[in-house]
Amino acid sequence: MPTNLDVLKAELGFEVAYTQPEFDLFESPSRLLDKLYKRLEKHGLKLADLRAENSSIIGERHLHCYLFNYVMTVKIRHDKIEIHCVEFPRSHVETYAVGILDALAAVKDALPNLSFKAFAISVALHGRVEGQATRDFMNRLTIKSPEGLGPSTGAGAVFYYGQENDRLLSSLTADISAAVQDAIFLRIHGVWAGDRTPVESLPKVASDFVGRALGVIGLQLKA
């Protein structure tokens, strides 16, 4: 029976790589801005928060905006879209998921022939394991620390996994949280093939993957 994980802080990182760089993306910025505003205004997009970041380095040029009262940052580049949520509470997961899908749809509206190469999702969780001390739980996942460098204050672990069906790779990081006292830190990361993963399925794909990743270390999200 899995043990409950009481999540006290969560973050989300999401990246979408295009099949090829879209150098025309910013050639007609008014078109992209129009599509973004129409799709994202309902999620808190303000004109004052839309910024075009120019650079002599092509890969660094991007359009930058905030959603949901600055909780979500969206960066649109020539080769990818980057989205980061500094807070990702379970009560807002569905709302934020809609915002992410709308951001992708807006770029697709501006470039109808755009195709996606890969989707990368990274979920960071800080939480306490119900009924277990943090160090006791971590001891199950780590080996004895090497001696000779002073008293051990803890250990972490990173596990890497190869391709499974539409998921190209994944990893699971476990450590002692530096942000929440007496808590564990987990980073669950996965990359999916863009040509085999429908965009609209991403929220369920991510949710199922997080649940499965927690399950392999004997945990489940506390209801």
- In angstroms, rounded to a whole number, what is the distance separating the alpha carbons of residues 179 and 3? 22
Query: What was the pLDDT predicted at 184?
Result: 97
> Domain limits of the chain?
1-12+119-145+154-223, 20-114
Characterize the bridge pairing of strands 184-193 and 157-161.
unpaired
Structural tokens at position 180 = 């929440």
Beta bridge partners of 185: 126, 175
Backbone angles phi, psi at 200, to 5 degrees: -65, -15
Backbone angles phi, psi at 193, to 5 degrees: -70, 130
The string of DSSP codes covering 53-71 is: E--SSGGG-EEEEEETTTT
- In angstroms, rounded to a whole number, what is the distance separating the alpha carbons of residues 139 and 137? 5
Residue 61: CA atoms inside 13 Å, Cβ hemisphere, count? 15
| CA-to-CA dists, residue 14 to 57, 118, 180, 218, angstroms | 23, 11, 23, 25
Q: What is the pLDDT of residues 118-147, one digit of tens each?
A: 999 999 999 999 999 999 999 889 877 888
Task: Please state the rounded mean pLDDT for residues 214-219.
Answer: 97
Contacts of 184 (CB under 8 A, 6+ apart): 5, 126, 127, 128, 129, 134, 137, 138, 174, 175, 176, 177
| Verdict on whether the full-model pTM lies above 0.85 | yes
Q: What is the pLDDT of residues 22-74, one digit of tens each?
A: 998 887 778 899 999 999 999 999 999 999 888 888 888 899 999 999 999 99
Q: Are 38 and 158 in contact (CB under 8 A)?
A: no
Query: What was the pLDDT predicted at 55?
Result: 84
